[in-house]
Every structure is written in C-alpha cells, then in structure tokens.
Structure 1
Amino acid sequence: MATKLVPHNQLSMSDLIVDAVYEGSADGQLSGEPISKLLPGSGNMGGFRVSGRGERKNWVVLFTTGEDRDWPDTLDLSTGQFVYYGDNKTPGHELHDTRSGGNKVLRHAFSRLHADHEPRCDIAPFLIFKKLPTANAVRSVQFKGLAVPGFQGLSATEDLVAVWKSSDGQRFQNYRSTFTILDVPVVKRAWINDLAAGNSRTANAPKAWIDWLESGRYCPLAAEATTIIRSVEQQSPDTALKRRILAGVWQYFKDVPIAFEAFAARIYQMTDSRVIVDEITRGTIDGGRDAVGRYLLGLGDDPVYAEFSLEAKCYRPALGGDTPNTVGVKEVSRLISRIRHRQFGVLVTTSIVARQAYQEVREDRHPIIFISGRDMAEILIKNGFNTEDRVEALLKNEFKI
C-alpha cells in the first residue's frame, strides 16, 4: 500500500497521520513549507518550532532532516524510542544560549517530567516530523508521531544528557534527549484546534496522551518489523557520506583481509557497551571463528553471559557501480556450525548478505546477527567517526597493517 500523500492545498484541514507525507509547495519556496500550514504559529524554519508564549507551550514541533552526521537523530520503530539532539551545535555558546531556545524547551519539559510536585504538569505535546522530499515538492515532510519526554526504564540522569563535542579545537555541550512516540495513529484536527486554544485535556485528546499525563504510563507505538530479510538496498549505504566511509574501510583492508577481523570485532563492540571481545583468533587455528566474546546479560556484580562467535568477511561492496561480492549460504553455514548450545553468532561484512543465506537463517531461527556495509558505516557515524578523515585516523592508529 502506497504512503498517504496530503497535497499542499489540504494541509490546514488535515489530521496528522503517522507516516503520512505532507507536501510543500511546488515552487520550493520557504513560504510553502508544510509544517507552518499544518500547525499555524509554528514557524517555518529550524529543528524546534513552538506554539505558545512563556514556558507553557501549546505544542512543540521537533523537525529532523535525518542527515546531520554530528547529531544523528534516531527513531527505533520496534520500541517507539526517539532520540533527538538539541540546538547548541556550534562552539561559542552556553548550553542554553541558542537562537530558537530549543535547549531551554528540553530542560523545562524534562524537569517537569521528574518534578516532585505535579509531575508532567505544563508539558506540551511534541510532534515529530522528518524531511522527506517528494517528486513534486522538495520541502515535503513525514509525520512520525506524537511524543512525550522520557522512556520506560530510563532514569532522570539518562533521558536528558548534556554531551560534549569539539569543533576546530573548541569544546561545547549539547543535549541528547530521549522521547517515547505514543501509540496514537492519528492526531485529530479537532485536538490541534484545542491545543491552539491552550488546552490539551479535552474530549478530542488521544487516550495515550491523557493516560501519560495523569499516570506517567508510557504506551509506545512499537511496530514489529514484518520484513525480516533485508534487501540489497537496505544493506547498502544510502547516503554519499556512508558510501565514502565504507569505501575507505574497504580500501584499507582489501589487500590484507585478515587484519579486518579485529576491526570487525571493534565494530560489533561499538553497538553495545555490554559486548566483551575476549580474543581475536589466529587465522590458521580459528576453527571458523575470527573472534570470540561474551555479552553481559546480568547485573555488574552478578553477571550472566551469553557467548558469541564472530565471523568477519572483507568482501567487495557495491560501490561505484561494482557488483558486490556477497556473503552466501556457504559462509553463513560455516558460522552456524561453530555455534554451540546457548551461543549466538555475529557476521560482519563490508558487503551484503545474499537473500538465500539471509532467508535460511531467519526462517530456521538461527541466532545470527548480521552487520552489513551500511550498518558498519552507520555504527561508525553514531560513534563519532563521522568523516573520512576520522575513520582514516581510527584505522591507522588502531589497526596498523
């Protein structure tokens, strides 16, 4: 089924439907930006677009391009967790000294979330939009959902964190905030009108919003994936930056693929602080395993571990028109045969996993994690290696050939 597309001339009357696309004007002018037409008073620029004066807002729009390599906003569709970075993105300013005041909005919302007296009082609904150009309008956006600050299981020291970054030798802070997308498929126009009048608790309000306001109970929009076999496109880099980063890794290791094993283990370790790599095995005696390690499941002072075996495949990726050298059934079967009871496997490749191999693993429910070339680039970017120079420095400093 095709994604619902709302024409520009219908925006002012439309409901907000999760994953629907709202078109900008065909001329591409800023005046035809769709969010300001959907939500009058929100403005037409910036990541933070608020309606209302003072600390009590009618609503807050969080807009993301999904393209900021230094501050990668992310939405986990399987859990409804949304991570959004604040608006202090360049040196020379204090954390809350920003033009649009976005970080002040975050500070207020999360302080009210954890307040001892009347928690959640005066918190505005957050409406999440993502840039999604269409054939007719480059400024079109997609609605990702109604969000509230915090996430089940995160404490007050974890859901809003001031992180340090550096640029041109100067250090500065910005917020990393964590939200929950509520299970609200449609935000009705009638409720938007209520919000504009300054009242979020009306008969038109979504039940999940009222439940959260009154009890603090999160009801996330968690969507289990129906497609468990990723296509070639889904495993391949989808931006120029990701392609350049992957190309740099491939060029570095292609003539000495055995050196890629330690790097592959590091890539998996970057995905989760609970991953422990115990040994990079020697190529002549590895028995089909390039690295072995453990994943911490229990508490720090009472640990329970799940052991894993990791296989690294430095194969030619689909870059520059080249046909990729894919990881096939033979390579995957080799890893599966080495996994003992209560263990799992990790396969890391600069290329992609062939459909047949992917399908057999998923249909037979083998505990195998696949990390493709696109995943590798995204993991590096998320961990701060978000330029070709930074990746090159990592390779030369830690993985000498």
Structure 2
Amino acid sequence: MRIIPSELLSSSDLIIDAVYEGGRSGNAADDPISKVLQGVGNQGGFRAAGRGEDRTLVVLYTSGEDQDWPDTLDLNTGQFVYFGDNKKPGHELHDTQRGGNRILRRTFELLHTSPPMREKIPPFLIFKKYPTPRSSRSVQFKGLAVPGFTGLPSTADLVAVWRTAEGQRFQNYRAVFTVLNASVVARSWLQELSNGNNASLASAPPAWQSWVKTGRAQALASESTTSIRSVDQQRPDSATKADILRVVFEYFEQAPIAFEAFAARIFQMHDPRVIVDTITRGSVDGGRDAVGRYLLGLADDPVYAEFSLEAKCYQPGLDEATINTVGVREVSRLISRIRHRQFGVLVTTSVIARQAYEEVREDRHPIVFLSGKDIADILVANGFSTAAAVRTLLETEFSLAPSS
C-alpha cells in the first residue's frame, strides 16, 4: 500500500488505491483532500471546485460507514453507486446545504441531453475514508469517475428514492457512475482544472479523453484473484450489521423452518430477476427448502435457469458464542439435489467452512453462497438499516405464530 505523506499532497499525482495521509491536529484542517485539490473544501461528501452551474471538478467522499445510504464500489465491474446529500427529512430533494443533489441533477442532464454535452461534465474524483496510524483523516483514492454505466438505461442511472425517518417521508438521489481505467491522474491536469480550464484534454488520462469524445466509458474492471472468502469476510463488518444479524438469528433460532421463507426473500432482495416458485414443506422437501427460477431473457421472451435453495439458520458466533459453520455435508447435500442446467443457493446466518468453500469452487459447482454478512448487507441495501427496522420486517412478514 502506497502512502503519500501530508507534506507531498499538493504536488502528488492521484494514484489508484494510494492513501493520502491527513494531519494530526484533531480538527478539519487535517483533511488531506483539500490539500491535494485546491478549492474543494475540507468537509462533506460533495466537494465541488469552481463557480456557477457547471463545476470544474467534483470530489465524492465516502466514509463507507453510512448504513442508511451505503455507497458501494464494485471492483469487478468498476460500477460506483453514490447517494446524494438529502439524507434527513424536512428538505426538498435539491434543497441541501452543499448542493450535491443539484450537481447530480445537472450532471445527468448534460449526459442525457440530445446531443450529450459531455465536455461540460466535471470529472468526479472518488475518495474513501482510510485511517492510518498517523491520522484518522487519511483517505484512499478510488478512481476517476464519469456518470452512467454501460448497459444501464438513462431512466436508471439517477433515481430519486424514497426513505422514511421519524415518521416522515423524503427523497434522495441514487447515482450510478463508472470508474474509468485510469491508474494515475496527473498533477498537471489537476492544476489545469484548479485554474478553471476543465475543457482541456491534453493532460487528461486517455480514458477520460475517449469518454468525452465518444461517450464510451472504459471501466476499471478487476477480476478477483480469489473466489474463496475467509470466515472473517463472511461475517458482518460493522456493529450495526452484527446487530441486524443477531435479530435475524434470534428470531428464527427456535423456528428454523420459518427461516426458509426469509432466506428465499433475501435472495430475491439481492436480485429482482429471482423468482421463487415454492417454499417446500419441511417433511417432504427432497433436500430443497425452496425452488425457483432466475430470469435470463426478455420479459416477453423469457429464458430461465432453475435453482434449488437451502437455508441454514446456524449460530453466527456473535457475543463470543461458538460459531456453527456450514460444512461439507450440508453443501454436498445441496449439490446432490441439483439437476442438469440448474444451480444451487445456500443461505446461512453463519459462514461456509473453508473446506466446503474450496471444494465447491475448485470443482466448479454452480453454488451461490450467502453468509451472515451478506444477509446484513442485503437488508441494509434494501432500506432495513437498523436492528429495529429488521425486527419490524420479520414480525410483519414472517410471523412465527402457528396457523389456525
């Protein structure tokens, strides 16, 4: 990991995944972004340089810790999802202190007007919180981004989503960007942008130049070198998500059969193309807790891949309890139930043991694993971002009361 010390920030290039170190004073002056990029300010998620309607550059900063509005970067595809700055009720969608949502609206208007006006769109520079031993304000540069994503329609790359807080409904933007295949953003271009010359392409990365001229975004896509997640990678990565998983496990602990319908719902939440046909009866399920189809084709000319789902409400190992992992026996049982041209899904509140994980991936069995971390992540991404909200969902839609 390359770390750029604070004394070199004003002269450094921006390098993918490099860490830019903050100060140690304990206040906003420690912020490194404002030293790397002149005129963007030292606070907030949106930090725009320049004046007027069209900015010269925009910083998108994410802490990665906002459970209600989870910004995400898919390293496999280069897709970056960022939420706007109207995060509390009481304000109209575009009535925000830093004007971030107005910037998003203007950016996507320029992208989708006919003809597109890409030369007026500012470069978006993504930074993520990355504390170091020297400074809690240090950040990591995640890339140069442009609005939109290949294959995503113009009706889906900027969407106003509704949320409810304190009994009040309000809207915020969900914006989709593409991180370009630009490993380095040169200091010379950053300086030109700081001087207000956002139309200059001479010093811009080739991927930016190509996008402005053609509209084709060359995404920074990186295939993972490992397909086996460790135990830690399958467990919740925050206290809030651990609380969410605890609620789920404790709710279904004494009624694991009821967990089957919830597991199927989680898989549907993960991908709207999932169709659950049957939640099987526990005594005659044939080794499958749910069966369904995955839509591959068009809505009016569908092609489906069938799947079998197994649900395991196992102890996730929270509060120092001994974790109960899903092992080879359980996974082999699911594999044996999969017929030709089908795939399997295993959903658990716990984790998949390493040996079972390795055997599935090495033998290339078509099995999707959703662990305790995935359950919490999917719930958060679908708006159930607190333990209380999840408990309400369970009590409302997954009643444990015996049917009369």
Could you say whether these structures have the same fold, taking a TM-score greater than 0.5 normalized by the shorter chain as the test? yes
For 1:135-154, list aligned pairs within 5 A: 135-154=133-152
| Structure-2 residue corresponding to 1:115 | 113
In the aligned structure 1, how far is the partner of 2:77 from the partner of 2:38?
30
| Structure-2 residue corresponding to 1:296 | 295
For 1:113-192, list aligned pairs within 5 A: 113-192=111-190
* More moved, 25-34 vs 363-372: 25-34
Task: Describe the superposition over 1:213-253 as per-residue Cα deviations: whole angstroms up to 9, x where unpaired.
Answer: 00100100011111110011100111000000001111111
The answer on whether the counterparts of 2:249 and 2:315 sit within 8 Å (CA) in structure 1 is yes
Consecutive unaligned residues of structure 2, counting only runs of 5 or more, are: none
Structure 2 residue identity aligned to 1:128: I
The answer on whether the counterparts of 1:194 and 1:202 sit within 8 Å (CA) in structure 2 is no
In the aligned structure 2, how far is the partner of 1:78 from the partner of 1:49?
27
The answer on whether the counterparts of 2:234 and 2:371 sit within 8 Å (CA) in structure 1 is yes
For 1:59-78, list aligned pairs within 5 A: 59-78=57-76
Structure 1 residue identity aligned to 2:105: R
Structure 1 residue identity aligned to 2:163: K
SS in 1 for 2:120: coil
| Structure-1 residue corresponding to 2:229 | 230
User: 1:15, CA displacement in angstroms?
Assistant: 1.0
Task: Describe the superposition over 1:352-395 as per-residue Cα deviations: whole angstroms up to 9, x where unpaired.
Answer: 00011101111111100000000000101111111111111111
User: 1:91, CA displacement in angstroms?
Assistant: 1.6
The answer on whether the counterparts of 1:316 and 1:324 sit within 8 Å (CA) in structure 2 is yes
Q: TM-score, with normalisation over the residues of structure 2?
A: 0.97
The answer on whether the counterparts of 2:291 and 2:308 sit within 8 Å (CA) in structure 1 is yes
User: 1:293, CA displacement in angstroms?
Assistant: 0.4
In the aligned structure 2, how far is the partner of 1:50 from the partner of 1:203?
22
| Structure-1 residue corresponding to 2:344 | 345
SS in 1 for 2:257: helix
SS in 1 for 2:260: helix
Structure 1 residue identity aligned to 2:351: I
SS in 2 for 1:276: strand
Structure 1 residue identity aligned to 2:48: V
In the aligned structure 1, how far is the partner of 2:116 from the partner of 2:253?
59
Structure 1 residue identity aligned to 2:57: W
Moved >3 Å (runs of 4+): none
* More moved, 210-219 vs 24-33: 24-33
In the aligned structure 2, how far is the partner of 1:156 from the partner of 1:252?
41
In the aligned structure 2, how far is the partner of 1:171 from the partner of 1:320?
35
Question: Aligned pair count?
Answer: 399
Structure 1 residue identity aligned to 2:31: E
User: 1:44, CA displacement in angstroms?
Assistant: 0.4
Structure 1 343/118 Cα, relative in aligned 2: closer, same or farther at 3 Å?
closer
In the aligned structure 2, how far is the partner of 1:339 from the partner of 1:274?
20
Task: Describe the superposition over 1:306-349 as per-residue Cα deviations: whole angstroms up to 9, x where unpaired.
Answer: 00000011111121122210001111011001000100000000
Quick check: 1:37 aligned with 2:41?
A: no
| Structure-2 residue corresponding to 1:276 | 275
User: 1:198, CA displacement in angstroms?
Assistant: 2.3
Q: TM-score, with normalisation over the residues of structure 1?
A: 0.98
SS in 2 for 1:144: strand
Question: Percent of aligned positions with the same letter in both sequences?
Answer: 65
In the aligned structure 1, how far is the partner of 2:26 from the partner of 2:140?
16
User: 1:118, CA displacement in angstroms?
Assistant: 4.7
SS in 2 for 1:112: helix
Consecutive unaligned residues of structure 1, counting only runs of 5 or more, are: none
In the aligned structure 1, how far is the partner of 2:322 from the partner of 2:140?
33
Structure 1 residue identity aligned to 2:9: L
Structure 2 residue identity aligned to 1:64: T
| Structure-1 residue corresponding to 2:311 | 312
| Structure-2 residue corresponding to 1:197 | 195
* More moved, 92-101 vs 240-249: 92-101
| Structure-2 residue corresponding to 1:375 | 374
SS in 2 for 1:121: helix
2:51 to 35, 50, 53: 53
* More moved, 365-374 vs 16-25: 16-25
The answer on whether the counterparts of 2:163 and 2:383 sit within 8 Å (CA) in structure 1 is no
The answer on whether the counterparts of 1:114 and 1:120 sit within 8 Å (CA) in structure 2 is no
In the aligned structure 2, how far is the partner of 1:281 from the partner of 1:28?
57
In the aligned structure 2, how far is the partner of 1:130 from the partner of 1:395?
33
| Structure-1 residue corresponding to 2:241 | 242
In the aligned structure 1, how far is the partner of 2:316 from the partner of 2:87?
33
In the aligned structure 2, how far is the partner of 1:118 from the partner of 1:82?
21
Structure 1 residue identity aligned to 2:329: K
Structure 1 residue identity aligned to 2:224: A
| Structure-1 residue corresponding to 2:389 | 390
User: 1:169, CA displacement in angstroms?
Assistant: 2.0
SS in 1 for 2:334: helix
Structure 2 residue identity aligned to 1:58: T
